[in-house]
Amino acid sequence: MNWYALYVKSRHEFLTHGDLVRKGIETFLPASRRLRQWKDRKKWIDFAIFPGYLFVHVSPQPEALLTVLKT
pLDDT tens, 15-70?
999 999 999 999 999 999 999 999 999 999 999 999 999 999 998 888 888 888 88
Distance CA 46, CA 49 (A): 9
Q: What is the pTM of this model?
A: 0.80
What is the maximal distance between C-alpha atoms in the chain? 51
Query: What is the per-residue pLDDT for 59?
Result: 86
Q: Count other Cβ atoms within 10 Å, centred on residue 17.
A: 22
Q: What is the CA radius of gyration of the chain?
A: 15
Query: What is the per-residue pLDDT for 15?
Result: 94
Query: What is the per-residue pLDDT for 30?
Result: 95
Among 34, 25, 32, 33, CA closest to 6: 25
Phi and psi torsions of 8, nearest 5°: -130, 170
Domain covering 2-69, topology: Alpha-Beta Plaits (3.30.70)
